[in-house]
Copies of this chain bind each other. A is one copy, B any other.
Amino acid sequence: MNFNYPDGRKFQRSQKPAKLSTSQSKKILFGDRGMHLEDEINESNKYYRGHDIAVIYKKPTPVQIVKVDYPKRSRAVIKEAYFRQASTTDYNGVYNGYYIDFEAKETTQKSSFPLKNFHQHQIDHLRACEKQNGICFVIIKYVALKRYFIMPATKLFKYWDGQKHDGPKSIQLSEIVNDSYEITPDYNPTLPYIDIINKLIESRKE
């Protein structure tokens, strides 16, 4: 099947890496084993949940259900539904008493990260959660460079709001490097982003 979510995101089945022999596995560049950012985050969240470290989930895609069939001997089938506009970001949960909320975006570009990757409702939601003292950020993946960054929401707002005053419509890699924490991809979990959340919590205390 091949379809796009209304925000243009392509529907992709998780691409599971093929099993490898031990000698092959030593050559693996941890992280980005051909997976999309969404799968890498979901895999990490599964690890965090399984080890009682954090409880963070991707929110289901909101749909407006119009028609459902109830065949006699099988499960209910939704026959007509429409994608609804989400009101929130994609990910949230709890870590050590803190409310965690983030959006994740990937780009194939090598420096420019277009701000139109984000949508107004995601910015509004991050702002509202930031106001409530949640830990809010975005995870940005440069696919071509295999680099991952966590940019605090407050930094993102600076660029987002800058557009209103004729500011640039994209953020450059150098700016992201300056305003973000870089995640070092690893194994178990694939993306140890909780390590960065600890830094966000520390910097908040100062």
The answer to whether A132 and B94 have CB atoms under 8 Å apart is yes
Please name the 5 residue pairs, one residue from A and one from B, whose CB atoms are nearest each other, closest first: A97-B133, A60-B62, A94-B99, A78-B81, A3-B68
- CB nearest to A128 among chain B residues: B55
A74's closest neighbor in chain B, by CB?
Answer: B82
Name the B residues within 8 Å of A154 (CB-CB).
Answer: none
Most buried by B among A54, A70, A78, A86: A78
Q: Tell me how many chains of this kind the complex includes.
A: 2
Say yes or no: is A92 at the interface (Cβ < 8 Å to chain B). yes
Which of B11, B75, B94 makes the CB contact (< 8 A) with A82? B75
List the B side residues contacting A61 at CB < 8 Å.
Answer: 60, 63, 65
Residues of B within 8 A of A70 (CB): 3
A206 is an interface residue with CB less than 8 A from chain B: no
| Given A3-B70, A68-B1: A125 and B55 interface contact (C-beta under 8 Å) | yes
